[in-house]
Homo-oligomer: A and B are copies of this chain.
Amino acid sequence: MKIWTKDEIVARFDMERAVRMVEQGLIAYSRKTAQVPPIQNFRFESSNGECCIKSAYVDGAATFAVKVSSGFYNNPAAGLPSNDGLVMLFSAKTGAPVALLQDEGWLTCVRTAIAGQLVARALAPHEVHGIGIIGTGVQARLQLEYLRTVTSCRDVHVWEPNAERRLRFADDMSVFGFSVHAYESAEGVAINSNLIVTATPSREALLKSQWVQDGTHITAVGADGPGKQELDAWIVGRADVIVVDSIAQCSKYGEVSHALSAGLIQEERLIELGTLLASGKRGRDDSQGEQITVADLTGVAVQDAQIADSVVGNAV
């Protein structure tokens, strides 16, 4: 078994190959040509930690993947990062361990940003006049970075509760060629953007429906477990198109779950991302400029299997 350090993974990483393979993985998931057992979850109350184990096999692939990712929220006080993670690949022919990727959670961050890019390609308005970002962490930064190839818009509007982090985000992302405006409330972001990404671990709605302008697309990536929520359920209720990465997961604990349990939408309204990607079609009706579209991403293990395979694949 080859062991990969994070540096080796980053050095070997090929963004285009990764995007293509994550897309194929999501398509396989929606076509049910992948095995994705139920997620295993742990909670560690005393250390304010959680861990999940996601495993997947995309039919025909040389390997299957087991990913362990954790969030321990007392870590920063001890000078450690909150998030950690690794991916293991095993041969689908012999069961032998093939690779251990000690990516420290980096691949999870990237595959999530890739899903955001795939969504934006299919659902963002043709004319993006402002990109809104709720949140300023690693995922918020990566989402913005991965939107670069989808739109030529570089006007960014950002909010998070902490003023210092808002300003640091603006400074940091300006270096990468974005023109970033930080706001004192999410309302400013919503009013000035028609492509919005929410990327926070919030447990309450940060984005209100009354702020969201007609013609906006919103991608929500934060609600990856029970109790989490970033969007006012009315936004989902009002959306013309609702795309989810996994109907099973999103109905249980994504943004969509809140709208479903409030009776604002029915499950029949949900379109799975892999189904949309397989169609090769746009997900919004571009003749109707006022359409609101929402994508709810909870993270599917096929993404982990495919992005790990995209790094290791040639070496297997």
Contact = CB atoms under 8 A, between A and B. Distances in A.
A44 interface: yes
Contact of A64 (B3, B38, B42): B42
A80 to B, nearest CB: 6
Please give the count of copies of this chain that the complex contains.
2
Contacts of A41: 37
A41 B35 CA distance: 9
A173 interface: no
A1 B86 CA distance: 11
A49 interface: yes
A40 B68 contact: no
Interface stretch (A87-95, A149-157, A263-271): A87-95
Contacts of A57: 42, 44
A57 B72 CA distance: 16
A47 B92 contact: yes
Interface string A67-101: 01011100100101001101010101111110010
A47 B97 contact: no
Contact of A95 (B37, B38, B51, B53): B51
A104 to B, nearest CB: 9
Contacts of A68: 66, 88, 90, 97
A168 interface: no
Nearest to A73: B95
Interface in A25-66: 35, 37-38, 40-44, 47, 49, 51, 53, 55, 57, 64, 66
Residue of A55, A64, A94 with highest tally of chain B CB at under 10 A: A94
Given A3-B3, A71-B95, A102-B97, A43 B51 contact: no
A11 B51 CA distance: 31
Given A38-B40, A92-B44, A97-B86, A51 B72 contact: no
Interface in A163-181: none
